[in-house]
Amino acid sequence: MENPLTPEVLADPVQLTRVLVDIESVSLNEKAIADCVEEVLRGVPHLSTHRHGNTVMARTDLGRSQRVVLAGHLDTVPLNNNFPSTMRGDLMYGCGTSDMKSGTAYALHLAVTLPEPRYDVTYFFYEAEEIESRYNGLNLVAQAFPEWLEADFAVLLEPTYGIVEAGCQGTMRSVVTTTGVRAHSARSWHGVNAIHAAGEVLRRLQTYEARRVTIDGCDYREGMNAVRINGGVAGNVVPDLCEIEVNYRFAPDRTPAEAEAHLREVFAGFEVRVTDTAAGAAPGLEAAPAKEFLAAVGAAPIGKLGWTDVARFAAMGIPALNFGPGDPNLAHHPDEHVEISKIRDGAATLHRWLAPA
């Protein structure tokens, strides 16, 4: 297929967003879009380009004293009658418009059009962010080529509606188990109902008072919620087992070990099994490039409520922020869209930050 990423398209972040949206790239099906991006970047003389799986990395090597990363994922959630893109006034609709091909378009636009940025820049276009971590392109690169990720500061181009969302929450999934004794439901007094026992777990969740934490001026609101319940044997059997899956979103001042200790304290007396954990990330506002980036944005940052790949950079000691034109409330929504004005404003902000003085 002829590459739709023409020079005219690459020069305009709005056109570029639409073309990227119209290359279907549901998670694990990113080859076509990665091929297009790689072909473009290999033709740019001021970049060195490498590929690992369906993740494409390009970087400048200008001898600058500091290096920054711009990273955007290429994949989307499954289509939902929202492909290809459509335009309605100032709005562009389609799968990935908000999360996050409009942000990814920034990186590709700047990679091609800004040959001498004020910092050395590494651009990441990575696969499989929307699914399990074992497929995530940044995770795979960290394992195979960790030196590709080395930098002084990183911007993850996730949807933030044009403001800076600093750091991110940690997340923990666990299973709280209640047990009982099986019996025929016609003679239920001979048993102990494990589903009924789950009522106490749910009561603790319902009355749970989540922390609100302020770190470097950014507010993080924690949350602990039941997200799935599984129990029952048959329509005439008192169940002896019930499992309540709980998702805990914790502020980045807590380590995963501290979050787990708190979780076990909340559910004292019950069996608790942690199934998945990802650490949060501190705001990362003290690095010099971060301060200059905030000055270019011209608005105070807020804390990121949710987990993003900024945590991968934070784990390597690299401060990172989230910034993109999309509305995070529209991510994964069938009515997903992005405002054209937000795309243009964000592109101008990044150019102000990266362009040489």
What is d(CA 246, CA 175) in angstroms, rounded to the nearest whole number?
A: 6
User: Helices (DSSP H) in the chain: which residue ranges?
Assistant: 7-10, 13-21, 31-42, 102-113, 137-144, 194-206, 256-266, 288-297, 310-315, 340-354
129 tagged catalytic: yes
SS3 for 337? strand
What is d(CA 178, CA 17) in angstroms, rounded to the nearest whole number?
A: 49
The CA–CA distances, whole Å, from 87 to 10, 65, 82, 83, 338 equal 19, 42, 12, 12, 10
The number of angstroms, rounded, from the C-alpha of 56 to the middle of its chain's C-alpha atoms is 18
Instruction: Encode 57-111 in three state secondary structure.
Output: EEECCCCCCCEEEEEEECCECCCCCCCCCEEECCEEECCCHHHHHHHHHHHHHHH
- Candidates 75, 158, 309, 339; catalytic one: 75
SS3 for 245? strand
Contact 284, 69 (CB under 8 A): no
Which two tokens mark 118? 């004020």
The CA–CA distances, whole Å, from 250 to 209, 210, 213, 256 equal 13, 9, 10, 9
Which two tokens mark 330? 């529209």
- Candidates 30, 99, 127, 129; catalytic one: 129
The CA–CA distances, whole Å, from 245 to 173, 176, 250, 277 equal 7, 6, 16, 13
22 tagged catalytic: no
Question: So which residues are the catalytic ones?
Answer: 75, 129
